[in-house]
Structure 1
Amino acid sequence: MDFGERLQELRKEKGISREELARALQVSYSAIAKYETNVRKPDQETLKKIADYFDVTVDYLLGRSNHRQLTRRDERDIEKIIEETRHRIENTEGLLLDGEILSQEDVDAIINAMRVGLEMAKLRNKEKYGRKKKK
């Protein structure tokens, strides 16, 4: 299923019109129509707004996964890894890049990138192994 079909399916499941979705996302009606007919793709910011609005992942919207969202356990697992990593970074003398200590802003950016990567890995594993995988 492509992006346009997924968007239309989600909108209909929620029982809202293109106009209502356009207002909620602060885009034009024609933008929604073009997204649903695959004439145009949303930018990254709009794609994230759509995913948040429908409570699904961006990968699901793009057809890269059939899992709409992570489970609470998945989210807890990811947060545990993130917090352990943050703790390790903050309890060292500093994380270096090219001999310079990274700023807190840089560390936060790295942590956010890790979170996205871990979420994608969890979803891909669900796709690959389904519910049979145990750990």
Structure 2
Amino acid sequence: MKRGDIVSNITGERISYLRCECNLTREELCKIIGVSKRTIVAYEQGTRDPSVKTLRALVEYFNVSADYILGYTNKPLRLDAIRKEEKSYILLPKTIQESKAKYNSINDYVNYIASKHGDK
């Protein structure tokens, strides 16, 4: 069995698992992601891999990472959790700047008090 076959089998198993977890029939899933029932069957049997467009639709609908669907990780990372984490990294520089500004303000105040009282 080639690496591609293994990935296809894992991908198919993951799609089938996610579909069943959401109590969806193949007919329902094919309407949701815009492919035929035959295509869903091929994905689940590992004889066909989803296109990038279809993979994206699966990721969005099931709220999991593409890495999970493709079998590169066994943790079904939720997209909303990933997006929340990404936002915290985006906000991090702002938080650092705010902390630096607060530190500078406090430091300036301490220096001001020290200059008023001198070295007694």
Which TM-score band (shorter chain)?
0.5 to 0.7
What value does the CA root-mean-square deviation take over the aligned residues?
A: 2.5
Q: Quote the sequence identity (%).
A: 33
Q: How far does residue 81 in structure 1 lie from its aligned partner after superposition?
A: 2.3
User: Pick from 64, 67, 87: which aligns with 2:72?
Assistant: 64
Mapped partners of 2:18, 2:10: distance in 1: 12
Mapped partners of 1:73, 1:28: distance in 2: 30
Please list every run of 5 or more consecutive structure 2 residues that lacks an aligned counterpart in the other structure: 1-8, 94-120
The answer to whether 1:22 aligns with 2:30 is yes
Count matched residues. 86
Deviations 1:8-52 (A, max 9, x none): 111111111111100111110111000001111011111010011
Q: Larger radius of gyration, structure 1 or 2?
A: 2
Mapped partners of 1:59, 1:6: distance in 2: 11
Q: Aligned to 2:73, what secondary structure does the other structure show?
A: coil
**Counterpart residue number, 1:55:** 63
Higher percent of residues as helix: 2
Cα 1:74–1:30 shift into 2, 3 Å = closer
